[in-house]
């Protein structure tokens, strides 16, 4: 069941990262994050790359993400390495279905920040928050079958492979693509938390 009232969108801190909701003042930084990797991101993040075209549209994107949380639809947290001014990506919980409750995990990391374990750190923090604070029963994600790095990340975060969904996603290239489904249930998460103590 949906918490009443919803808690504020979180600010999370890990050993190396600050994760927080976007602020209107972040619009230029969000635009740079997308522009720096636009060609690489367009296929798998068509809605984001279409929505963020300039600073004005980046501000609108941020306003929509803020509204998403206010109505309980989803939350998106930008990722900042501690001590750095520029974000390196974001993690989202979207398509929240409170009657279960469950949410879809989505994540984007700049190419320049890959290979340092930052997204594993960020996604794990968000997953833990989702189960602990929101009381979710399930977190799942969809991964492009060609994106082996993303599939490995999902599994490192505890999500288990659940199958291949055929013709499940229209990419920014205009084509319909399959996706791999990964899921993590509350019992899985609790068992993993107990193992890590």
Would you say residue 3 lies in a domain?
no
Instruction: Give the pLDDT confidence score for residue 172 in this predicted structure.
Output: 86
Please indicate, yes or no, if residue 7 is contained in any of the structural domains. no
Structure pTM?
0.94
pLDDT band at 1 (very low <50, low <70, confident <90, very high): low
| pLDDT tier at 33, thresholds 50, 70, 90 | very high
CA distance 84 to 151: 28
CATH of the domain at 141: 3.40.630.30
Instruction: Output the pLDDT for position 197.
Output: 41
Residue 144 within a domain: yes
Task: Indicate the average pLDDT of the chain.
Answer: 94
- Is 2 contained in some domain? no
Instruction: Give kind and range of the element (H or E) at residue 187.
Output: helix 186-196
Number of structural domains found in the chain: 1
3-state class percentages of the chain: helix first, strand second, coil last, to nearest 5: 40, 30, 30
Residue 1 lies in a domain: no
Q: How, if at all, do strands 102-109 and 138-143 pair?
A: parallel
Q: What range does the domain containing 119 cover? A: 12-196
Q: What is the pLDDT of residue 43?
A: 87
pLDDT at 70: 93
Q: Please, is 80 exposed, middle or buried when counting C-beta atoms within 10 Å of its C-beta (0-12, 13-18, 19+)?
A: buried
pLDDT at residue 8, as a whole number: 87
Q: Residue 184 domain-assigned?
A: yes
Locus of tokens 């928050």: 129
- The pLDDT tens digits of the residues spanning 103-114 come to 999 999 999 999
Q: Who's near 86: CB < 8 A, 6+ residues apart? A: 29, 32, 33, 80
Could you read off the pLDDT of 50-108 as tens digits, one per residue?
A: 999 999 999 999 999 999 999 999 999 999 999 999 999 999 999 999 999 999 999 99
165 backbone dihedrals φ, ψ, rounded to 5°? -100, 115
**Residue 17: is it exposed, middle or buried by C-beta count within 10 angstroms (0-12/13-18/19+)?**
buried
CA dihedral 58, 60, 66, 70 (to 10 degrees): -160
Residue with tokens 């013709």: 167
């Amino acid at each position: 069941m949906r918490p009443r009232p919803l808690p504020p969108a979180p600010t999370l801190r890990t050993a190396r990262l600050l994760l927080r909701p976007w602020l209107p003042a972040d619009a230029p930084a969000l635009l740079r994050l997308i522009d720096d990797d636009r060609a690489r991101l367009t296929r798998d993040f068509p809605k984001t790359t279409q929505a963020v075209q300039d600073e004005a549209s980046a501000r609108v994107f941020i306003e929509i993400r803020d509204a998403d949380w206010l109505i309980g639809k989803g939350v998106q947290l930008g990722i900042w390495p501690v001590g750095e001014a520029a974000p390196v990506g974001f993690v989202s919980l979207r398509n929240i279905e409170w009657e279960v409750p469950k949410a879809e995990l989505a994540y984007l990391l700049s190419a320049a920040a890959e290979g340092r374990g930052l997204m594993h750190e960020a996604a794990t923090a968000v997953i833990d928050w989702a189960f602990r604070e929101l009381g979710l029963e399930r977190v799942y994600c969809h991964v492009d079958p060609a994106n082996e790095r993303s599939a490995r990340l999902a599994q490192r975060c505890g999500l288990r492979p659940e199958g291949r969904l055929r013709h499940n996603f229209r990419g920014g290239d205009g084509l319909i693509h399959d996706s791999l489904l990964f899921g993590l249930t509350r019992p899985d998460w609790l068992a993993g938390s107990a193992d890590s103590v």
